[in-house]
C-alpha cells in the first residue's frame, strides 16, 4: 500500500520539528536568548509604530482639512485658520544641504590629516578636540551663534559676501545676521564631528598592504590616499554623511536661535530669515490650542519623521549600490592578492 505524498511530507516535517524541540530542550539557554532577542526587536518595532500612529492620529484633522495644500501654503496663521509649512520645508532642506555641502569636504580633509599627515603625538589630542565638539550641548552652540556669529555676519560677513559675491543670487538682499546662512553655518559646526569621526575610523581600517603596494610602485602620499584609501572608505564616508544629514534635519534649539523664525517666501538668498520644521514645532507647540492649530503642529512633526525615514532609506540604497560598484572595481584591480 502506497502512502500519499502529503502524508509523507507531513511526517517528515513533524520529524524535523521534533528534532528542533529536542535540540532546544538540550540547550535551553539558546532558546531563551532567541526569545529575548525577538522580544527586543518587537519592542523597537512597536515603539516606531506607536510614534507614527500618535502623529498620524493627532494630525488627522489637518490632513483631511488641508490635504496637500498644507505642504504648499506659506501662512501658518491660527487666527484665520490657515496653515502651511512650505517655508519651513524650504528652510529645513536649504540649511541641511548647506551644512552637508561644507561639512563633508572639511570632515574628510580633517580625517585625512589626522590619519596620514598629523604627527603621532598630536593625533590623539586633536582627535579628542574634534570629537569633543559633538559633546557640546546644542543650546550652547545656538547661543554662541546668536551672540557671536549672527552679529558678526550682520556687520562684516554678509556685507562682504554681498560686495564681492553679490552677482550670485545666494548673497543678495539686506544683511540680517540671523537667517538661513547663520543656521547653515551652525549646522555645519554641529555635524562636522560626525563626518570627521566616521571618516577617520573607516580610513584607519584600510589594509596596510594597499598603502604599501602603491608606495612600492612609487606613488605619492596623495596618490595613495586617492587610489587606495578613499575608494576603500567611500561607503563608510557616504554612510557618515547621511547620518550627519539626519542630525541636521532634526536639529531644533540651535537652529531656532539663529534662523530668524519669520516665514518668508522661499528665495535663493541665504540672507533671508526663515523657519525649519523643528523650529515651527518648538515655537508653536506651547501656544497650540486643541483643534487645527495643535493638529498642524503635530503634522509638522509627522513631515519631519517622514523626511528622516526617506533620508535613511535613500542612504541605505546609496551605500548598497556604492558597495556593489566598489566590490566589482576592487575585483578588477586585484593583482597578486594586492589591490592596486
Question: What's the pLDDT at 326?
Answer: 53
Q: Is residue 15 assigned to a domain?
A: yes
Q: What's the predicted TM-score (pTM) here?
A: 0.81
Examine the pLDDT at 260 and tell me if it is beyond 50.
yes
Residue 63 included in any domain = no
CATH number at residue 91: 1.10.3720.10
pLDDT for the residue 21: 63
Q: Distances in Å between the alpha carbon of 6 and those of 2, 3, 12, 15?
A: 12, 8, 10, 14
Residue 49 has pLDDT above 80, yes or no: yes
Which of 4-13, 55-64, 115-124, 197-206 shows the lowest per-residue confidence on average (mean pLDDT)? 4-13
Among residues 58, 79, 98, the one where a domain terminates is 58
49 and 77 fall within a common domain: no
Do 40 and 143 fall into the same domain? no
pLDDT in tens, 136-147: 888 999 999 999
Q: Is the residue at 179 inside a domain?
A: yes
Residue 88, in any domain of the structure: yes
If you search the block for the grid coordinates 564631528, which residue do you land on? 193
Closest-CA residue to 126 (of 194, 186, 197): 197
The pLDDT of 291-295, averaged and rounded, is 88
| Segment 192-231, tens digit of pLDDT | 999 998 888 888 888 888 888 888 888 888 888 888 888 8
pLDDT (0 to 100) of residue 229: 86
> What whole-number distance in Å separates Cα of residue 308 and Cα of residue 149?
28
Chosen domain end from 20, 36, 58: 58
Is 50 within the bounds of a domain? Answer: yes
Would you state the pLDDT for residue 337?
40
Residues 198 and 319 in one domain: yes
In which band, very low, low, confident or very high, does the pLDDT at 83 lie, cut at 50, 70 and 90?
Answer: confident
Q: Is residue 53 part of a domain?
A: yes
- Provide the pLDDT for residue 324: 65
Mean pLDDT across 148-174 = 90
Tell whether 151 and 29 lie within a shared domain.
no
Q: Are 259 and 291 contained in the same domain?
A: yes
- pLDDT for residue 283: 87
pLDDT greater than 80 at residue 279? yes
| 285: in domain | yes
> Which pLDDT score is estimated for 76?
82
Give the tens place of pLDDT for each residue, 221-251: 888 888 888 888 888 888 888 888 888 888 8
Query: Which range marks the domain in which residue 82 is found?
Result: 68-339
Domain boundary among 17, 39, 58: 58
The yes-or-no verdict on residue 256 having pLDDT over 60 is yes
Interacting residues of 248 by C-beta distance below 8 A, sequence separation 6+: 95, 96, 99, 100, 187, 190, 191
Examine the domain organization and report whether 299 and 160 are in the same domain. yes
Rounded to the nearest 10 degrees, how much is the dihedral formed by the CA atoms of 160, 164, 169, 175?
A: 20
Q: Does residue 106 contact residue 98 with C-beta atoms inside 8 Å?
A: no
**Cα separation of 267 and 171, whole Å?**
11
Same domain, 279 and 145: yes
- Roughly how many angstroms between the first and final C-alpha of the chain, as a whole number? 67
The pLDDT of 245-263, averaged and rounded, is 87
Q: Are residues 74 and 53 in the same domain?
A: no
Q: Tell whether 217 is covered by a domain.
A: yes
Q: How many domains does the chain have?
A: 2
Residues 201 and 325 placed together within one structural domain of the fold = yes
Whether 39 and 144 map to the same domain: the answer is no
80 and 139 assigned to the same domain: yes
Cell numbers placing 186:
551652525
Same domain, 156 and 209: yes
Amino acid at each position: 500500500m502506497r502512502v500519499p505524498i502529503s502524508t509523507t511530507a507531513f511526517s517528515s516535517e513533524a520529524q524535523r520539528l521534533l528534532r528542533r524541540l529536542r535540540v532546544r530542550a538540550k540547550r535551553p539557554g539558546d532558546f531563551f536568548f532567541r526569545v529575548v532577542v525577538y522580544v527586543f526587536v518587537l519592542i523597537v518595532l512597536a515603539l516606531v509604530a506607536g510614534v507614527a500612529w500618535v502623529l498620524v492620529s493627532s494630525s488627522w484633522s489637518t490632513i483631511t482639512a488641508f490635504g496637500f495644500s498644507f505642504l504648499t501654503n506659506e501662512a501658518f496663521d491660527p487666527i484665520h485658520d490657515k496653515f502651511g509649512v512650505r517655508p519651513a520645508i524650504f528652510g529645513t532642506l536649504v540649511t541641511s544641504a548647506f551644512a552637508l555641502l561644507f561639512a563633508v569636504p572639511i570632515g574628510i580633509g580633517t580625517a585625512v590629516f589626522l590619519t596620514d599627515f598629523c604627527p603621532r603625538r598630536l593625533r590623539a589630542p586633536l582627535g579628542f578636540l574634534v570629537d569633543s565638539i559633538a559633546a557640546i550641548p546644542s543650546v550652547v552652540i545656538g547661543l554662541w551663534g546668536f551672540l557671536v556669529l549672527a552679529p558678526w555676519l550682520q556687520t562684516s560677513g554678509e556685507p562682504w559676501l554681498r560686495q564681492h559675491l553679490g552677482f550670485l543670487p545666494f548673497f543678495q538682499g539686506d544683511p540680517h545676521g540671523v537667517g538661513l546662512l547663520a543656521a547653515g553655518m551652525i549646522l555645519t559646526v554641529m555635524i562636522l564631528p560626525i563626518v570627521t569621526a566616521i571618516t577617520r575610523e573607516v580610513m584607519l581600517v584600510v589594509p596596510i598592504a594597499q598603502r604599501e603596494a602603491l608606495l612600492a610602485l612609487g606613488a605619492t602620499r596623495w596618490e595613495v590616499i586617492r587610489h587606495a584609501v578613499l575608494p576603500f572608505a567611500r561607503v563608510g564616508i557616504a554612510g557618515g554623511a547621511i547620518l550627519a544629514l539626519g542630525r541636521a534635519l532634526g536639529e531644533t534649539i540651535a537652529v531656532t536661535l539663529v534662523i530668524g523664525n519669520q516665514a518668508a517666501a522661499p528665495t535663493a538668498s541665504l540672507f533671508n530669515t526663515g523657519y525649519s520644521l523643528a523650529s515651527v514645532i518648538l515655537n508653536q507647540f506651547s501656544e497650540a490650542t486643541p483643534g487645527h492649530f495643535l493638529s498642524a503642529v503635530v503634522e509638522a512633526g509627522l513631515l519631519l519623521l517622514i523626511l528622516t525615514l526617506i533620508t535613511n532609506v535613500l542612504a541605505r540604497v546609496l551605500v548598497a549600490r556604492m558597495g556593489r560598484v566598489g566590490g566589482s572595481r576592487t575585483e578588477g584591480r586585484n593583482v597578486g592578492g594586492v589591490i592596486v
